[in-house]
Amino acid sequence: MGTEPWYRGLVWLDYRLAVLFLVVIPLILLIWAFVQKAQPIQHLLIIYLRVASLLAITLYLLIAQYPVGFISGLIARILIPISLWFWIDLNDEIDYQQDGALKLVFTSWRWATTFYCILGIVALVPSIGCGFSDAAIKSSNCQVWLEAPLAYKDIFHANTKAPFLGVLGIIGLIIYLIYLSYFVIVRLGKQGRSATEQ
């Protein structure tokens, strides 16, 4: 079976931080922004959640132990910071918004998430080989990244077969890629870096 990877604790810490920074805090901020009618922050968070949905897709791919899950996870860490800073009009509106607790917390979260994703990219690079081979994914170095997704399955999908969840992940990935392609090929050419232009 091989020796236990020394970084197992760090991998679990990464998953816990992902839940906090990439799921819990942005959902709280979105509710807060709706309550305060802070439309630029609302808009940016909705864009962020659409982009970050690739992480949920990745989770289901990893439950089924599909190597592509390692690739989609890495791509998600790259796309998330881009989605937070790409839009010139939203950045300007947020900068000019009146200072307050929401703006401070949102800005702090945006910077923290950016640095977290950069660190996540660095952490995932040594395991990128797991994404290209069914044989490699069975190694202890790759299996340690699957422990948290399998624990998630045991909690939320205990009676569902992993291959079925993997099929859901593949369908989600195909839909995601279609939308991403449409954005890059069609919308980006029309709107540029404006999120609000129709």
Q: Are 135 and 32 within 8 A, CB to CB?
A: no
Query: Per-residue pLDDT tens for 27-84?
Result: 999 999 999 999 999 999 999 999 999 999 999 999 999 999 999 999 999 999 999 9
SS3 string, the chain, reads CCCCCCCHHHHHHHHHHHHHHHHHHHHHHHHHHHHCCCHHHHHHHHHHHHHHHHHHHHHHHHHCCCCHHHHHHHHHHHHHHHHHHCCHHHHHHHHHCCCCHHHHHHHHHHHHHHHHHHHHHHHHHHHHHHHHCCCHHHCHHHHHHHHHHHHHHHHHCCCCCHHHHHHHHHHHHHHHHHHHHHHHHHHHHHHCCCCCCC
Domain that holds residue 22: 8-191
Residue range 114-164, pLDDT digits in tens: 999 999 999 888 888 999 887 888 888 899 999 999 999 999 999 999 999
Instruction: Spell 67-86 as b/e; 16+ CB within 10 A means b.
Output: bbbbbbbbebbebbbebbeb
Reported as a pLDDT band with limits 50, 70 and 90, residue 3 is low
Total domains in the fold of the chain = 1
Q: What are phi and psi of 66, to 5 degrees?
A: -85, 125
pLDDT digits (tens, 9 = 90+) for 151-196: 999 999 999 999 999 999 999 999 999 999 999 999 888 888 888 7
39 in a structural domain? yes
Count of Cβ atoms closer than 10 Å to residue 196 Cβ: 12
Considering the domain boundaries, does residue 197 fall inside one?
no
Distance separating alpha carbons of residues 91 and 40, to the nearest angstrom: 8
In a domain, 196, yes or no: no
Q: Which amino acid is at 146?
A: L
Query: Is 28 a member of any domain?
Result: yes
pLDDT score recorded for residue 66: 95
Integer Cα distance of 95 and 90 in angstroms: 8
Within a domain: 125: yes
- Judge whether 108 lies within some domain: yes
